[in-house]
Every structure is written in C-alpha cells, then in structure tokens.
Chain A
Amino acid sequence: MLGDGSGRSLGARRGGCSPERPPPPPGSSRCPVPAPGRSGGGERRARRKRGTAMGGSGSLLAREALDEYQELTFLSKQEILLAYKRFSELLPREERENLSARVPKSQILTLPELRANPFQHRICHVFSTSEDGDDSLSFEDFLDMLSVFSDSATSDIKSHYAFRIFDFDDDGTLDRKDLEKLVNCLTGQGEESRLSTAEMEQLIQNILEESDIDKDGTINLSEFQHVISRSPDFASSFKIVL
C-alpha cells in the first residue's frame, strides 16, 4: 500500500527525529503530511532548488509548484493561491519573492483566523519546521497547516494533529496537566473565567472515565482518535477557511 511504503521510507530518512514523535497515520488516501521533525538535509536541498527555479514568476505561483502543492495537500488551487496571497502580505516587500522565507510567530498571530484562537501558540509550534525553535512558519508550513484544517482533510489527519496541539508538554500522551491546561484555554484567560479546583477535578475525572480505555490515567493517540470518531462536532469545529 502506498501508505506503508511511504512510512518506511520516511522513517529511514528522518534519522534525526526524536522517537516520541508519533508516526504519520497509515492508510490515509494521500501520502500523509510528514511530522515536521528536524528533517534531514534532503528536504532542505529540495526546497532551495525549487526556490531558485521560480525566481521570475513575479507575484504569482509557478504552475508546476501549484500543481505539486495541490497534489500534496488537501487544498484546491483557489485556496492555495489565496494562501499565497495572504502569506506574502505578511512578508516585508523585499522577501516576497523568496519562497523559503520564514515569517516570525508574532506576524503569523496577526492573521484574523489565528488571533482569536486560544491554541495559537500551540498551532505555530506544531506546524513550524524551524530549526531555531522560534516557531516561525515558512510558506510550506503555512500550507501544511491550512491543509490539515481544510474541509477535505480526513478525520484521521485532523485527530492526529489535534492530539499534537493539545499535548502541551509534547510527551506523546494527554495526562492530567495537559487536560487542565486545555480546559483553561477553553474557558478563557483571567482568574474569574477558570473553573474551581473541585469542578476541574470532577471534569477531568469524567473525561478520563469516558476516554481512557486502558485506565492508565493518560490518553494516548489511539484512545484520543477513538473518542474523536464518536464526537459529532469535531469535523465541523476543527476547520479554518481563509
């Protein structure tokens, strides 16, 4: 199957990846968006090559790049062009031609789609492939993000990335502290909008009761995906459209 083959080859290339990073979910109809780990030199070389090839296209994306992006992500041509337009507005004028330019996190957070989102920092962290750890996004990271949040992404992909966004300490499982931070994000910043300790205890107890199947006190990826598959609102709420 395409999925298995790609998983094996990706694993071989991603030599430097930390083992806790969950592998891309198999069985999706397209090649899954790879986990933005500390990728090897191969990807960077490919990107730089493509950057120079498209020097003269002006403000429009080259046609082969557009086709390639359309194939690799869940986005349509219109959406990719719109994303390109919005992304280049965030860049200073002289860097607009360079497709591997990175936009710092503070700029990304000015986008209306992200500025009101309580998970904005986590989203930038999860989708960023920057080696400096400053959570800046390149255009491909931006497209990755939009692809996962688009209408046509499968619920497998969405739940996989939702798990990573909710995993605040990046340890591969959702434990009590992660859940507490998650609930605090949902109810808003500020002291008066938080739940009381007793209510938080009761809530976390209920959540674990419903989703923790092996009763180890944490929610791993498969338990999370199982719970999400039963949730009717997930597909309609986990969506960003430009």
Chain B
Amino acid sequence: LRDCIQTDIRYLSGWKQWKRTSSKSLKKVLSEVKELSSYLELWRHDIHSIEGIYCLMCIFPHSMCFCLLNFIIFILMFSFITLPSIISEYGIFNSSFAKVQPKHIEPHCTVYKPTGNQGLVYFYTYLKDLLSGTGFLEVTELFYGYYTIDAAWLSTLSYNLPLAYLLATFAYLALSLLWIIKRSVEGFKHNLVHNEDQFQSYCNKVFAGWDFCITDPNAAQLKHRSLQYELKTDLEEERLKQKIAERTTKEKLRIYSLRIFINIIVLAVLSGCFYSIYRATVFSQENSNDINNTNFQANLLVQYLPSIVITLANFIAPQIFSFLITFEDYSPAFEIRLTLLRCIFVRLASIGVLLFSLWSQISYCDTDKCKACGYNYELYPCWETQVGQEMYKLMIFDFIIIIAMTLFVDFPRKLLVTHCSCKPVQWYGLQEFGISDNVLDIIYGQTICWIGTFFSPFLPAIATVKYFIVFYIKKVSLMHTRKPAARPIRASSSNFFFLVVLLIGLVLAFIPLGISIAHIPSSKACGPFRSFNTSWAVVPATVLGFPTGLQQVLNSIASEAFAVPFFMVICLVMFYFIALAGAHKRVVEQLREQLVMESRDKLFLIRKITEAQRH
C-alpha cells in the first residue's frame, strides 16, 4: 500500500501534490473533530456493550433520540411560553402583564378557585398531589391554568402570549412530524425501489445474517439457533405458500368464514375494553370531585382508575390476540404483523377513548347556565388543566409500572429460575427480550407526551427524565434477566415498522388536539384563551390586526378558490412521482435482463473461440 502511494507521488505533478497534501490535512482536521464529537455521543459505550451481547440496534438508539426530541420540545415550550410568563409575573426587566377581563361572558363561568394547599395539611396530601397533579401542583406552571395572561409587556414591546401558546403547539407538532419523516424516508425509499419482502430475502439472511460484533459465546450459540430457526421458518413458509395456492374452494370458504368469526370476536374484545375504560373514566371523574373523602388510598385508587384499566387492557388484549390468531391459519410472518397491529390499535385507541369520555363529561350540558358557558363549568371550571392532569397521571403511572415490573417481576423471576430447579419453574423460564413490547411502550409514552404537551407544557421535561431513567433500568434488566428472543425480527425491517407506527401515533395525536383547539370552547376562568370562543379563535383575531393587503392575501389563501386548485396541483405532483418511480423500476428490470443477455453472449463467444481453436 505504501509502495502504491509512493509510485503515485512520482507520477503526479507539483500542483496535484499540493492538492493532495492540503486535502490530507483537511481530512486530518475533520477526523480530529469527529473524534472529539464521539466523546459527546450519549450512551455510545453503553450501546456498544449491549451490542456485544445482543447485537440488536432497535430500541436503544430510539430511546436516545426520543430523549433529545422531548428535550427540544421542552426548550421550545419553555422559552416561548413559560419564560415570558415568569418574567412578566415577577416584573423582571421592567416587564408587566395585562389581564383583560373577558367581555360578553357570564360571570359564573369565570369562577375558578384551585385549592392550593393552605394551612396545615397532612403529609400524604403532598404525596397525593404529586401523584395526581392536584392541590399545590395545579397552580404551578405545570398546567395550562397558570398561564392566565393575555399579553406581556417588556418596556414598550408587547408579547402576545395566547398566539405564542398556539404557535408553539403547532411548532412542536410540525417538528416531530419532520423528524419522523426524515428518519423514515430512507427505509421507505428502499422499500419503494425494490420489490416488497426484500427484507426477508434469503440472500440477506445468509450473507448478512451473522452479526460480527457478537463477543459472548452464549450469545453466539443463541444466534446460531435463531438463524437456524429463521431459515427453517422461511423455507416452511415458502412450502406453506405453495400449499395455500393449491387450496380447494371448499377449504377456502371454511377458512374465510372462520376468519370473519374470529375478527368479530376481536372486535367484541376491543369494544369490551373500550367500554370498561369509558365507565372507569366516568366513575373516576364523578368520584374524585368528592372532597369529603379523606381516605388516602381509596382516593388515589379512584384517581388512577382509568390508568389502571388501560394498563390492564394493554396487558390482557395481546394475550387474547396471540391465542386467537393461531386459529386463523396465516403464514407465520403475517401472524406476527397482524397481532402487532392489533396490539398497537388497542394501545393508541385506549388513549382516544379516555379523551373521548373526558370530553363527553366536559361538554355535557343540560342547564341554560351551563349552555351559556359551553362546557360544564361546575365540575370543570378549568377543563384544560383537568385533561392535563389525566395525561400527567397516565405518564407517571406508566413510569411506575415499568419500574415495578423490572423490580418485582423480572428480578425475582431470574432468582427463581437460577436457584429453584423444579420443573414448572424451569419451563416458565426467563422473560424473552421482546422487541415488540418495548416498541409499544415507547410509542404509547410518546403519544401521551404529544397530546399532553398542549395542556401541560412541562410534560416533555418529565418525559425526557423518564426515558433517561428507563434506558438505564432496561439496560440493567436486559443484561441480567432477559434471554434473547427465539424469533428476532430483523433490524432493518423493524426500524421501518417502528417509524411507521410512530407516524400513526402522531397523526392520532393530531385528532384530539384538533378537536380541543378548534371545536370545544376554551375555559373562561383560566388560561390564555379566556377572551376567545375557542383556542383557535386567537388566529383570526390576530389576522384582523394585520394591514388590509396582508389580510386579503391570507383570506384568499384560506378560501376555497385557492384550496381546490392547490389540492389538484399536489395530486398531479404526486402522480408524477409515482410514475417516475414506476419508470425507474422498469429500467432496473430491463438492465437486469440486459446483464443476463450479455453473460449469455459472453458464454456463446467463448464457446465459439474454443471451437475455432480446436479446428
């Protein structure tokens, strides 16, 4: 190698030599910078140590990215919403705030007295408040209700807090969407250009099957076994597909009617879960407002009832689904995907049902006084804070459950398996490292964070801390108590799948936020949107303050005369790209055929040469 460079130096002229030396020094500088930045990479060493044993790149880089994303969202909300509020409240830098009395509002709607703890209270009240977001936490910056400022003045500059609140919400949603799309574009590009199922192709499994970074002989043994299992299942699946193609009509009819029946059962299970969540939420809301109840445990139980029911549903439903799917006679890969999809649906939809039941309570109005406010002002004078509290409770409970499962289920199980050698315990064995469970946990937590940040601006900070701690807990648990799954999903395909499900979670988070912002009247007793009908109404109000020309432009953009042609143009652009992708696919096919032709030509020519040489 050295010789080759030396000979090159002799051939090159002086100018080229100078170019080479300058590019060499540039490369040196870049490599130094890279080395420095590698020290800053969070958790790089930890991920390496895990890779040595399991070599799975699925969950842990994602935890790190979510930490970062949540931290950025928190910085956004803090600097645009909390910081101006605090500055103007305490009069720092000569600032002041303006609290405009809302006009045309009935006085009874504006009564809101949060019971921040006064006087002597029992100690456990603080604990209860910490766990459920009531009491002293309700009046802090944690929740929406604190930001009851209409404008902040910094000497002569005015800061429109309601508008900032709304725009910050849109900004963090857009940021999350861009981040997910950026990360999933690579996997999608790969999927679109090549045929489907390429991830499962045999060549990929055989040539790229062995992870060269495995260092532990036990892990290597497990990897051998899992590779053998994978190859065997794939071959079996191929034989099964052959069998399916040869099915008779009578068999097909039987299978399809069985599948329809089982899907009806699945729907019944889902509706059972959702109904129980609804009733639990209604019960919890009705009874938690009963302040005479001083029994600490019962009160906490009632507060946490929706979270408990959701967690139970998330635990039981997957077991039922994996039991049912064995009757449906699908190929193994499809079975896994369908069960996973159903479990994800249960998780995300349960949040939706919780919110829906909350809203049905909030907008339940039968008296005229209530109708004047637009929402149930007696029980929910500041309903955004209540919703924020529910999201806060969900997040805290999720965190507690993860810690509790690790401490009280995984470690004792490992102790039992290693020390007690009786048959049933050994058969039960260690918990497998299931990627799908961890994926679902992360997506569930992140969806709660996205929905809850509008109602509780400090929620991303809590989420950041939670992911940070959960990473280390899971790492310790993984090293000591889990064994690798017998059926690992491939790293690349699960990466893409994870991002697609995350996208679904984000889109699902748009819906409740959209309804809260645009449809339900904002509470008149607290929050930055008191003087407006709905939270969205601040935007038209601001537009009215713009110069006339700009107003006209904005109005025309929002009108149908603009929207319809815009939509048609977007469709045309999309069709163009789809056609382009199809054309590229065809070019690839033609090039492959050309390669085959050329090699055949080569063989033909070689044969001709050997014939000619013989004569």
Tell me the A202-223 residues at the B interface (CB within 8 Å). Answer: 202-203, 206-207, 210-211, 213-216
On whether the beta carbons of B208 and A228 are closer than 8 Å, the reply is yes
Smallest CB gap from A233: residue in B: B208
A119, A203, A240: most-surrounded residue (chain B CB, <10 A): A203
Q: Check if A72 is an interface residue, CB within 8 A of chain B.
A: yes
Cβ of A109 under 8 Å from chain B: no
**Are B221 and A188 neighbours in the complex by a CB distance under 8 Å?**
yes
Contact mask for chain A residues 171-197; partner B; CB cutoff 8 A; 1 contact, 0 none: 000000001001101111000010100
* Contact, CB under 8 Å: A202 / B203: no
On whether A233 and B3 interact (CB within 8 A), knowing A5-B8, A203-B231, the answer reads no
A31 touches B31 (CB 8 A): no
Decide if B228 touches A188 in the complex (CB within 8 Å): yes
CB distance from B341 to the nearest CB of A (A): 22
Query: Bound complex: CA of A105 vs CA of B288, how far in Å?
Result: 72
Contacts A193-B224, A232-B190 known; A186 to B203 CB distance under 8 Å?
Answer: no
- The chain B residue with its CB closest to the CB of A214 is B599
Which residues on B sit within 8 Å (CB–CB) of A183? 206, 231
Binds B, one of A85-93, A110-118, A131-139: A110-118
| B194 within 8 Å of A (CB atoms) | yes
Interface residues of B in 191-225 (CB under 8 A from A): 194, 198-199, 201-204, 206-217, 219-221, 224-225
The answer to whether A239 and B208 touch (CB under 8 A), given A42-B3, A187-B231, A215-B596, is: no
Cβ of B3 and Cβ of A13 under 8 Å apart?
yes
Is B204 within 8 A of A233, CB to CB? Answer: yes
| A10 CA to B3 CA, complexed, in Å | 8
Considering only CB atoms, which chain B residue lies closest to A2 in the complex? B8
Give Cα distance in the complex from A227 to B201, angstroms. 10
Q: Give Cα distance in the complex from A234 to B212, angstroms.
A: 10
Q: Chain A: interface secondary structure?
A: helix
Residue A27, interface by CB 8 Å: no
Asked if A213 and B4 sit within 8 Å, CB to CB, the answer is no
In the assembled complex, the Cα of A218 lies from the Cα of B517 at a distance in Å of 64
B 223-247 to A, binary, CB cutoff 8 A, 1 in contact else 0: 0110110011001001000000000
**A78 close to B (CB within 8 Å):** yes
Q: A230 an interface residue at 8 Å Cβ cutoff?
A: yes
Q: Is B492 an interface residue (CB 8 A)?
A: yes
Q: Is the CB of B7 within 8 A of A214?
A: no
Smallest Cβ-Cβ distance to B592: which chain A residue:
A213
Given contacts A213-B592, A236-B57, contact A231 B204 (CB under 8 A): yes
Task: Give the complex CA separation of A213 and B190 in angstroms.
Answer: 21
* In the complex, A46 has a CB within 8 A of chain B: yes
Contact assessment for B199 and A6 in the assembled complex, using a CB-CB cutoff below 8 Å: no
Least Cβ–Cβ distance between A80 and chain B, in angstroms: 11
Q: Is B371 an interface residue (CB 8 A)?
A: no
* B213 and A68 contacting across the interface, CB-CB below 8 Å: no
A225 to chain B, nearest CB (A): 11
The one of B4, B55, B220 in contact with A6, judged by C-beta atoms closer than 8 angstroms, is: B4
Interface size class of chain B, counting residues whose CB lies under 8 Å from the partner chain: 35 or more
- Specify which of B4, B204, B213 is in contact with A9 (CB 8 Å cutoff): B4
Interchain nearest-CB distance for A184 vs B (Å): 10
Asked if A241 contacts B217 (CB within 8 A), the reply is no
A234 touching B208 by the CB < 8 A rule? Answer: yes
Which among A116, A207, A231, A239 is the interface contact of B216 at CB below 8 angstroms? Answer: A116
Residue numbers in A under 8 Å from B208 (CB-CB): 228, 231, 233-234, 237-238
Asked if B206 and A186 sit within 8 Å, CB to CB, the answer is yes
B residues within 8 A CB of A113? 212-213, 215
Interface centre among B210, B490, B592 (most CB of A within 10 A): B210
CB nearest to B24 among chain A residues: A71
In the complex, are the beta carbons of A186 and B217 less than 8 A apart? no
Residues of A within 8 A of B206 (CB): 179, 182-183, 186, 203, 207
Question: Contacts of A182 on B, CB cut-off 8 Å?
Answer: 206
**CB of B229, distance to nearest CB on chain A (Å):** 9
Interface range on chain A (Cβ under 8 Å from partner):
35 or more
Take A216-B599, A232-B204 as given contacts and tell me if A117 and B1 are in contact as well, using a CB distance cutoff of 8 Å.
no
CA distance A2 to B35 in the complex (A): 27
Query: Bound complex: CA of A121 vs CA of B523, how far in Å?
Result: 73
Q: How far is the CB of B240 from chain A (nearest CB, A)?
A: 13
Closest to B27 in A: A71
Residues of B within 8 A of A119 (CB): 210
Are B201 and A210 interface neighbours, CB within 8 A?
yes
> Taking the complex as formed, is B48 at the interface, i.e. its CB lies under 8 A from any CB of chain A?
yes
Do residues B203 and A211 form an inter-chain contact, with CB atoms below 8 A? yes
CB B476 to nearest CB in A, in angstroms, measures 21
Q: Which residues of A contact B11 (CB under 8 A)?
A: 5
Contacting residue for A237 out of B198, B210, B238, CB 8 A: B210
Given A72-B1, A214-B599, A238-B212, A199 and B207 contact (CB-CB distance below 8 Å): no
Q: Which of B543-590 contact A (CB under 8 A)?
A: none
Which residue of chain B lies nearest to A163 when distances are taken between CB atoms in the complex?
B207
* B48 surroundings in chain A (CB, below 8 A): 241
Q: Which chain B residue lies CB-closest to A46? A: B2
Q: Is B607 an interface residue (CB 8 A)?
A: no
Q: Is the CB of B202 within 8 A of A203?
A: yes
- Smallest Cβ distance from B32 to chain A, in angstroms? 8
Check if B224 sits within 8 Å of A187, measured CB to CB: yes
Q: B224 contacts A210, CB within 8 Å?
A: no
Say yes or no: is B491 at the interface (Cβ < 8 Å to chain A). Answer: yes
Any B CB within 8 A of the CB of A21? no
CA distance A224 to B207 in the complex (A): 9
Q: Is B260 positioned at the interface, with any CB of A under 8 Å from its CB?
A: no
Residue of A10, A236, A238 touching B4 (CB-CB under 8 A):
A10
Given A228-B207, A238-B212, A239-B213, the answer on whether A33 and B1 have CB atoms closer than 8 Å is: yes
Are A31 and B5 in contact (CB-based, < 8 A)?
yes
- Chain B residues with Cβ below 8 Å from A33 are 1
CB distance from A183 to the nearest CB of B (A): 6
Question: Is residue A38 contacting chain B, with contact meaning CB distance below 8 A?
Answer: no
Contacting residues, chain B, for A31 (C-beta < 8 A): 1, 4-5, 8
The reply to whether A6 and B8 form a contact with Cβ atoms under 8 Å apart is yes
Q: Does residue A154 face the partner (Cβ distance < 8 Å to B)? A: no
| Interchain CB contact under 8 A, A231 and B203 | yes
Complex Cα–Cα for A175 and B227 (A) = 21
Beyond A5-B8, A72-B5, 18 extra complex contacts between A and B, CB < 8 Å: A6-B5, A31-B1, A115-B217, A116-B215, A183-B206, A185-B210, A186-B206, A188-B225, A195-B228, A195-B231, A213-B599, A214-B595, A228-B207, A230-B194, A231-B203, A232-B204, A239-B212, A239-B213
Please, could you name 9 A-B residue pairs with CB atoms under 8 Å apart, sorted by A? Answer: A31-B1, A77-B31, A113-B213, A186-B227, A216-B603, A227-B207, A233-B490, A234-B207, A237-B209
Q: Which residues of B contact A (CB under 8 A)?
A: 1-5, 7-8, 11, 24, 28, 31, 34-35, 48, 55, 57, 190, 194, 198-199, 201-204, 206-217, 219-221, 224-225, 227-228, 231-232, 235, 238, 490-493, 592, 595-596, 599-600, 602-603
**5 smallest beta-carbon distances between A and B, as pairs:** A214-B599, A188-B224, A116-B220, A232-B492, A234-B208
